[in-house]
Amino acid sequence: MNNKLKLILGPLLAFIIGYILYASGQTILLSKAAGVLILMAYWWITEAINIYITSLLPVILFPLLGVLGIESVAPQYMKDVIFLYIGGFVLTFAIERWDLHKRISLKILLNAGTSPTKLLFGFSIATYFISMWLNNTSTTLMMLPVALAIINQLHGGDAEKRSGMATAILLAISFASSIGGTASLVGTLPNMVMKKFYDENFPAETALNFSNWMMVALPMSLVLLVCMFYVLKILFLKNSDHIVPDINYCKDEYRKLGKTTFEERVIMIVFSIAIILWFTLDDKEFGNTTIRGWRSILIDNNIIPNDKFVNESYVAIFMAAILLFFPSKNKKGTAIVTWEEMKRIPIGIIFLFGGGFALSEGVKVSGLNDWIGNSLVSVQYLPLWLMIFILCLITTLFSEFASNTATVILFMTIMTPVIQQAGLPPLLILFPVTIAASYSFMLPAGTPPNTIVFGTER
């Protein structure tokens, strides 16, 4: 479809649906909010204009249409979860600047072995592990140079078998980065979006935190990683025993890194502390025994008034600040992470986050969420497993064509009022839908890692 036509169809569709709602007896405020929701959904899915620019529509349209004032919309673009995202990027920049990612990935590959199967396993594990903590796209870009260097040095066997091995390695990097991103709360953006929606809309439900996310997501993602490995092995590594990967590149690159630097040690310590603080933030119950989390201890000792004062986002930005202030030993006069690295934070993602939260707020204030909930409340009569399956299937299909973060935002905005009205278990629905959005493996455009790997033309 012509891009100009997409641009025109968005507002036209928004106006028609808004008018139909108003003509059917809904309030003018609800109808306006519905129009904005339809316009954003259409432009996000079709990408008629850049998805990050579309994310600015609430701050432009809600005040103009009388849905939300600018003082109510603007704070939605700087929620605390955005600092979790920023803190994660600072850790990524630190790891990239001091080549810690290269040391970790090369070490895993060298220990994995040199046979085609072992090498595929090594790339799968290395990518998966790094992507648990860092942005999926960054992980793919980190692993790709090493993979291409080894692929270019393959010898033995025929050209078709070598091509098959190259395909297996590249697909392993692409798929494992998406799978690893779902294993931890900080692994990918949709996870953070889901947590914020859940925390704000279901405060009385079981708390969603770093540790209970990993208790569920880690085993599940490992099972999927193993399945991915065997599928790629069966499809692309048949009769590949004669292929001899040249692992000397990895040895040479690892040798060039030299001994672990002062900065790398600091980053590893800071990163380890961050993980420990995330895991121990809340109370843990083991049978009749409760182990107090450090947040509860701070509250008990009147250091902070309540649990709203510190959370996962606070830990991320606090640890990031240490790296921004901590002086480098090998590059005098600079910190471990400098402002030059900070300039690389993609501002568009912040707009995407904020646009989703602002849209959700407008939907609530206008009463549109109640209307959506009442209109779709009949879904409660479906078997729960069937409802989850259908939602996951739709989410996966949507995210093959649209941004997975935008897809999650739209589904959270629509499904949250339905869950509230129908009294459905929110975690059992929102968690699998969020995970499904990251598993867009069918098309090159499904995820940024898919696109990057496809762009190698290997």
CA angle 90/91/94 to nearest 5° reads 85
Would you say residue 158 has pLDDT above 70?
Answer: no
For the chain, the average pLDDT equals 89
Residue ranges covered by each domain of the chain: 1-49, 81-342
- Confidence label for 116 from pLDDT (cuts 50, 70 and 90): confident
Predicted pLDDT of residue 422 = 86
Q: How far is CA 194 from CA 31, 256, 257, 307, in A?
A: 26, 41, 39, 19
Residue 153: name the closest of 143, 164, 162 by CA. 162
**What pLDDT, on a 0 to 100 scale, did the predictor assign at position 248?**
79
d(CA 189, CA 81): 10
More confident residue, 456 or 32: 32
Which of 115-124, 243-252, 268-277 has the weakest average pLDDT? 243-252
Model pLDDT for residues 61-92, shown as the tens digit of each residue: 999 999 999 999 999 999 998 999 899 889 88
- pLDDT confidence tier of residue 215, bands split at 50, 70 and 90: very high
* Pick from 58, 70, 360, 23: nearest CA to 31: 23
Q: What does the pLDDT read at residue 240?
A: 67
pLDDT of residue 92: 87
Nearest Cα to Cα of residue 418 among 355, 368, 372 = 372
Q: What is the pLDDT of residues 299-337, one digit of tens each?
A: 999 999 988 899 999 999 999 999 999 999 988 889 999
Task: Looking at mean pLDDT, say which of 161-165, 258-262, 447-451 comes out highest.
Answer: 258-262
**How is 342-401 classified by DSSP, letter by letter?**
HTTS-HHHHHHHHHHHHHHHHHHHHTHHHHHHHHHGGGGGS-HHHHHHHHHHHHHHHHHH
3 state DSSP class of 155: strand
Statement: residue 29 has pLDDT above 90:
yes
pLDDT, one tens digit per residue, over 239-272 is: 766 666 667 778 888 898 889 999 999 999 999 9
Q: Angle between the 80-97 and 347-366 helix axes, to the nearest 10 degrees?
A: 170
CA distance linking residue 237 with residue 117, whole number of Å: 7
User: What percent of the chain shows pLDDT beyond 90?
Assistant: 49
Q: What residues contact 19, with CB distance under 8 A and at least 6 apart?
A: 31
Tokens representing residue 216 in the block: 């569920």
DSSP string of 264-312? HHHHHHHHHHHHHHHHTSS-EEETTEEEPPHHHHHHHTTSSSSTTS--H
Residue 142: count other Cβ atoms within 10 Å of its Cβ: 25
Cβ neighbours of 398 (radius 10 Å): 22
Residue 74 has what pLDDT? 93
Specify the range with the lowest mean pLDDT, choosing from 86-90, 127-131, 155-159, 293-297.
155-159
Work out the percent of the chain whose per-residue pLDDT is above 70.
97
- Whether the CB-CB separation of 241 and 170 falls below 8 Å is answered with no
Residue 68, pLDDT score:
94
User: Do 387 and 429 meet the contact criterion of CB atoms below 8 Å apart?
Assistant: yes
Contact (Cβ atoms closer than 8 angstroms) between residue 85 and residue 189: yes
Residue 435 is predicted with a pLDDT of: 94
pLDDT in tens, 385-399: 999 999 999 999 888
Work out the end-to-end distance of the chain between its first and last CA atoms, rounded to an integer number of angstroms: 30
Strands (E), 151-259: none
pLDDT of residue 182: 94
CA-based max dimension of the chain: 73
> CA dihedral in degrees (430, 425, 419, 429; nearest 10)?
20
